Structure 1
Amino acid sequence: MRSDSTSPIASAIRDWPLPYVEKLATRPLAAVDLIVIHCTELPDLAMARNYGERVLYDSGSGNSGHFYIDRDGSVYRFVPIERIAHHVRGHNARSIGIELVNTGRYPHWLDSRHQAMDEPYPEAQIDALIGLIARLAAELPGLRHIAGHEDLDTERVPASDDASVQVARKRDPGPMFPWVRLLSKIPINRLASAAATHSSA
């Protein structure tokens, strides 16, 4: 891993590019207007990295966010922001994906009996997220919106333990995520549709 001191947002970011980064499509930064918050739903950063490196598409790329924030507040850049990462269906070209290391529903993601997401997000992790968003907002004048993965991918699918039961395909960042605190500290707004859907968050 190396630090890229030429980037305006590099002072607290460790570059750790995925092996297939050069195979991801590029985009003009002016096209980026949305940040999507995810959680890894995996126990640690090492496993999240392993999942991110998996090749899933004919292009030779896989699924990953742009940035990963560990529980201690360490920030890693897996994908440069000028490249389109595969992290949220239907919104990749316009968005930056930020993944927070959090267990989520691991390892029974779609089991109807294991849908609780009760791991809190540590202060250091949220502080790092606030700092990263502030830096991105300063670098990208078109950045206007933020949403959770669950706001944008609302599909429900048959539960893995009982196909007659429907569960949310994506629930991250989940009910423990401190939306009120985050929004009070950053210069961008939650998507109107997302705020209406989760008005109590």
Structure 2
Amino acid sequence: MSPDLPPPDLPAPDRPDRPDLPDLPITFEPLPYAARLDARESAQIDLVVIHCTELPDLAMARRFGEEVLYPGSQTGNCGHFYIDRDGSAHQYAALDRVANHTRGYNPRSIGIELVNRGRYPDWLAAHHQAMDEPYTQAQVTALVALLQKLQAVLPSLRLIAGHEDLDTTQVPATDDPAVMVQRKRDPGPLFPWPRVLAAVALQRLVP
């Protein structure tokens, strides 16, 4: 499978009642270790996982993505796609590669990261669990366009989830070990689930 998505004039699958969304240019910028990520068949992809970067900007998210965290494979943690606040879309890993973004779900899923500060920089501090940065209209529009494109090229794609839906692990807070906090809270309470689900033919997966 080519790392680049097909031309943007593909119709939105199963949504004949909605006009096509605007074109979504995608910049392909593979991570240095992208070719070392495990290969997979497109037929096994049935899930999209929505994340937020919990970092201040795309440049820092890129730096985090480039870090090698797994010595055996010489790879790190990353999503397949990143959508910046201005709606620009960037692809860091090919669809036919398994990206490390959600424990237990990577082989079957596509990871999409939305740039948003989340709980940065005190991710696991008990006093800093609010996620109060709203997602921009440009981000949500770009996300819906990307999801529709993915559905058009991946017939097996039928499910969508937030990272917080799939990783419900609790850990001791860094500022008070007696308090337990959620390890992952993204995309968080301000993510517009109703708007996204109304625009795509995907079912939300909440185990």
TM-score normalized by the length of structure 1: 0.92
Identity of aligned residues (%): 59
Deviation string, structure 1 residues 166-197 (Cα, Å, up to 9, x no partner): 00000000000000010000111111x35xxx
Deviating beyond 3 angstroms after TM superposition, the runs of 4 or more aligned structure 1 residues are 4-7
Give RMSD over aligned pairs: 1.4
Q: Specify every segment of 5 or more residues in structure 1 that has no aligned partner in the other structure, as ranges.
A: 195-201
Q: Counterpart of 1:87?
A: 101
Residues in 2 aligned to 1:9 and 1:64: alpha-carbon distance in whole angstroms = 25
Indicate if the aligned counterparts of 2:79 and 2:99 stay in contact, CA closer than 8 A: yes
SS across alignment from 2:35: helix
Q: Counterpart of 1:8?
A: 6
Q: Counterpart of 2:62?
A: 49
Residues in 2 aligned to 1:9 and 1:122: alpha-carbon distance in whole angstroms = 25
Residues in 2 aligned to 1:50 and 1:5: alpha-carbon distance in whole angstroms = 21
Indicate if the aligned counterparts of 1:110 and 1:169 stay in contact, CA closer than 8 A: yes
* Aligned residue among 133, 153, 165 for 2:179: 165
Q: Specify every segment of 5 or more residues in structure 2 that has no aligned partner in the other structure, as ranges.
A: 9-23
Within a 5 Å distance, the mapping from 1:25-104 to structure 2 comes to: 25-58=38-71, 59-104=73-118
Residues in 2 aligned to 1:184 and 1:41: alpha-carbon distance in whole angstroms = 26
Residues 1:168 and 1:9: Cα distance change in structure 2 (over 3 Å):
farther
Q: Counterpart of 1:147?
A: 161
Q: Counterpart of 1:178?
A: 192
Q: Higher relative contact order at CA 8 Å, sep ≥6: structure 1 or structure 2?
A: 2
Q: Deviation at 1:5?
A: 10
Q: Counterpart of 2:151?
A: 137
Q: Counterpart of 1:126?
A: 140
Provide the aligned length of Structure 1 versus Structure 2: 190
Counterpart of 2:66 in structure 1: which amino acid? E
Residues in 1 aligned to 2:109 and 2:87: alpha-carbon distance in whole angstroms = 22
Q: Deviation at 1:137?
A: 0.3
Deviation string, structure 1 residues 53-110 (Cα, Å, up to 9, x no partner): 0000021100000000000000000000100000000000000000000000000000
TM-score normalized by the length of structure 2: 0.89
Indicate if the aligned counterparts of 2:51 and 2:111 stay in contact, CA closer than 8 A: yes
Residues in 2 aligned to 1:9 and 1:71: alpha-carbon distance in whole angstroms = 23
Q: Does 1:21 align with 2:37?
A: no
Residues in 1 aligned to 2:4 and 2:86: alpha-carbon distance in whole angstroms = 25
